[in-house]
Structure 1
Amino acid sequence: MSDAGVDPTRPMVVAVVPTRNRQALTLRFLEQMAGQTYAALKVVVVDANSSDGTPMAVAQQFPTVAVLAARDRDFWAGATNRGVRHALALGADYILTINDDAVVAPDHVERLVALAQRHQCPILGNQINYLADRDRLWSLGTYTAWGSQDFLRLAYNDCLQSQLPASVAQAEVLPTDALPGNGVLIHHQVYRRIGLYNARWLPHYHADSELIMRAVCRGFRAYVTPQVILYNDFSVQQKQLPLQSLRGMAYSLGHPKSHLYGPALGYIFTRYCPLAQKWSTLRALAQRFWRMLR
């Protein structure tokens, strides 16, 4: 990760990692980045006003890692945008958005870049499995089927590795509608042509998916690979919402850090759902939400 070790003959990758008060996870992640086999890699940590000493610890243990400051209200999209701007200013060929709780193999970046170049993928995401259950998928991309309840669904969520269809498991890359932002390699031209993450309407959840959907609408192709797996240090309980009380409902629909944040979901629905399918989609989503309440 040192500037002296960056190979100028290979595409420069800048990994952008937002964090807040997760010193142990951040240091664990940076240790993995330091061990990556890809020689043209730089890392940018965007710290959102941590009070646990994260910036100082990073500076001491990983002095070649750039640490940028974000505000409390920046959330994921705003913090990531700060990192992407910095990466573009550095002249990055690719930006890798990735979370501080990710666990990856030493050749993770190397293999992503090789696949992206081999298949000319301007956007390539890795498969994501649960760290606590390594054979169980969390996501192989994201898909939406307008007119149905399948709105921003994680593809193959909760599927066992052995249950993947052979045509999927053996593919080098697969087309996808969108991607979670944890382990996505994006060519710099994507950001330069379509802009950054929409921090106004999608400050935290779904900003990652919306940027990919926007890119696809602008003519870029998005792919995911089952050949490169990121292990997510995440449990289903972390995403559960308190929908059984009025106060919990208000938080779930009105707080930017909720995956049911109304303005974010409404923005994607309004902008991307075809007019002819808006009513059928609304009806299907209402049924899905009702089932969540029961």
Structure 2
Amino acid sequence: MKVYLILVNYNGSKLTEECLDSIHKSEYDEKYEVHVIVVDNGSKVDETVALKQRYKDVIFIRSEDNLGFAGGNNLGIKRALDEGADYVLLINNDTVLDRRMLQLLMKNVKPDTVVTSKILYYSKPDTIWCEGGVIDWKKGNSYNGKMGEKDTHNIENYYCDFTSGCCMMISREIINTIGMLKDDYFMYCEDTEYCLRLKQAGYQIMVVPSATLYHKVSASSGGEDSPFSVYYITRNRLRLVEDYSELFDSSAMQFSLMSRFIRMIQFALKGSKNGKAIRYAIRDYKARKIGKASYPELGI
């Protein structure tokens, strides 16, 4: 079984190095053939140059443009499939793998099932950032499962409706059937959209909580509450609810817009750029603007 791990790097070579080091320390059966692809996604300086000197066994791809999380991963997926991958594992570059994570995921893969690990905060390794997840059909949002809970070391596998793109092992069969991530989401909600496509096609998502990953949350996007993150989460969430209106309750769009307007006012009263980020996001959603945005005053 050939498994290709895909990391997207954007001005974050130090993060990527720590992730690669943890991959190289991983313990797994020799029957698994594991390869690693790093996509340098439009970093200001081509960071593959230095990384190549240290990691001779890693495949590097350089994109001159920042294609976003979705587009960067798709470059890696295409290369992996061209090289005969049976499975690809999307893994954030701001993560560190437990030594047995790969073994446990590979042991549980199935052609018709996406598998994911338990993801703990790197800075709080006893606290869960994501363990599977749920989709709120009334509010139009997806939520990381067990977020903020203490790790109980549960080892029983279970199925869920959503998992973060931070750790997602996908079979060649699934990719051939439903395709790759949607490039035009650029950042955020592309994983939720993929999970909805999975479900519609009859595939499942399984959590392997005995497999552990540590995540330096939003290290490459400036933080979960940065204008960058707020803009893309808002715009793409609205688009997602519209695109899958047959799945969401009629209240989902109303709630999504109303909650964003309230947050916009709250941010404006605080003098935060996030209020403007929400306003731009709603405007761009209505104008059907997709892909990468450009608002220098927001840091986007």
Question: In the TM superposition, what is the alpha-carbon distance from 1:150 to its structure 2 partner?
Answer: 5.9
Contact 2:95 2:216 in 1 (8 A): yes
Corresponding residue of 1:282: 253
Q: Which runs of 5+ in 2 are unaligned?
A: 267-300
Match of 2:131 among 122, 140, 145: 140
Structure 1: how far apart are the matches of 2:5 and 2:218? Answer: 24
Shift of 1:171: 5.0
In the alignment, the residues of structure 2 paired with residue 171 and residue 71 of structure 1 have an alpha-carbon distance, to the nearest angstrom, of 42
2:245 equivalent to 1:273: yes
Question: Where does residue 189 of structure 2 map in the other structure?
Answer: 206
SS at match of 2:170: strand
Give the TM-score taking structure 1 as reference length.
Answer: 0.81
After superposition, the Cα gap between the structure-2 partners of 1:204 and 1:288, relative to the gap in structure 1 and judged at 3 Å, is same
- Deviating beyond 4 angstroms after TM superposition, the runs of 4 or more aligned structure 1 residues are none
Distance 2:248 2:133 in 1: 22
Amino acid at match of 2:99: P
Comparing 184-193 with 173-182, greater Cα deviation is found at 173-182
Deviation at 1:190, TM superposition (A): 0.7
Among 257, 263, 267, the residue aligned to 1:292: 263
State the shift of 1:266 in Å. 2.8
- Aligned residues of 1:102 and 1:232 also touching (Cα < 8 A): yes
SS at match of 1:228: strand
Could you tell me which residue of structure 2 aligns to residue 219 of structure 1?
202
How far off is 1:229 after superposition? 1.6
- Give the RMSD, CA atoms, in angstroms: 2.3
Query: Residue 26 of structure 2 corresponds to which residue in structure 1?
Result: 36
Give me the TM-score of the superposition, normalised by structure 2: 0.79
Tell me the amino acid that sits aligned with residue 151 of structure 1.
N
* Aligned mates of 2:126, 2:140 — CA distance in 1: 24
Structure 1: stretches of 5+ with no match in the other structure: 1-10, 163-168, 243-247
Inter-partner Cα distance in structure 2 for 1:12 and 1:77: 22
Alignment partner of 1:161: what SS? coil
* Equivalent of residue 233 in structure 2, options 245, 256, 259: 259
Matched residue type, 2:233: H
State percent identity of aligned pairs: 22
Query: Against the structure 1 CA distance between its residues 114 and 26, is the aligned structure 2 distance closer, same or farther, given a 3 Å change threshold?
Result: same
Instruction: Measure, in 1, the Cα distance between the counterparts of 2:218 and 2:89.
Output: 23
CA contact (8 A) 2:241 2:248 kept: no
Paired with 2:115 and 2:71, the residues of 1 have a C-alpha distance of 22
